[in-house]
Amino acid sequence: MLTPNAFGVEHATGDPKITAMRVLAIDASLRNTGVAIVDANNGKPRSLYFGTIHNASSMRSSSCLVAIRDRLAGLIREHDPDCCALESVIYVQSYKTAIILGAARGAAILAAAENGLPVFEYSPRRIKQATVGRGAAGKNQVAFMVRALLGLTETPDADAADALAIGLTHLRSQDVAGLGIPGATQI
């Protein structure tokens, strides 16, 4: 018997595998925002799109935020994801960096919320743990594992690889939520 969950995703009773879910995954940054669209079709994850939104250093911060929002809105229209997942706020030593990252993250959340997507967040450690198997993994390890897990023919750049890892983490989180294990934090 199939029962829909809060995302309209159908689960067979007793089977925690996701049958269909499409996730917009975002690794927000002002100059290089990693973006991915991943889905699980009958429990098998695949990448539909990945890339990086590059904003030139000559662009004003406000223009970068608009570019992030606009590009994400376009991807949402094109791929019709069910939800959005991103990395939670990270600890940084510079308040200036924290403000810039927060603004980029805000532009990403705005694009998702304007389009009615539920937004979930994961800590960097949890993303690395879910992707590589250890929370202190380096960027190269994340990129290598994402390539292997998704069967990609090329290794994505670091920002796109992080976005793919966020998407995979969300898909796995939804799998285990079906077993009663706490999942993501919805914001």
Q: Is the dihedral of CA 129, 109, 177, 91 positive or negative?
A: positive
Cβ burial of 106 (10 Å; 0-12, 13-18, 19+) is middle
Q: Is the dihedral of CA 176, 129, 186, 71 positive or negative?
A: negative
What's residue 19's pLDDT? 57
Per-residue pLDDT of the chain (187 residues; tens, 9 = 90+): 334 444 444 434 444 455 579 999 999 999 999 999 999 887 789 999 999 999 999 999 999 999 999 999 999 999 999 999 999 887 777 888 889 999 999 999 999 999 999 999 999 999 999 898 877 788 888 999 999 999 999 999 999 999 999 999 999 888 766 665 566 778 8
Query: What is the domain-level CATH number for residue 149?
Result: 3.30.420.10
What's residue 15's pLDDT? 44
- Tell me which residues are annotated as active site: 27, 87, 159
What's residue 182's pLDDT? 63
Q: Range of 110's domain?
A: 2-186
Of 170, 146, 172, 173, nearest in space to 158 by CA = 146
Q: Report how many domains make up the chain.
A: 1
Cβ proximity of 171 and 164 under 8 Å: no
Question: Which token pair is 69?
Answer: 């929002």
What is the Cα–Cα distance from 153 to 133, expressed in whole angstroms?
22
Q: Which contiguous run of DSSP H or E holds residue 143?
A: helix 139-150
What's residue 13's pLDDT? 42
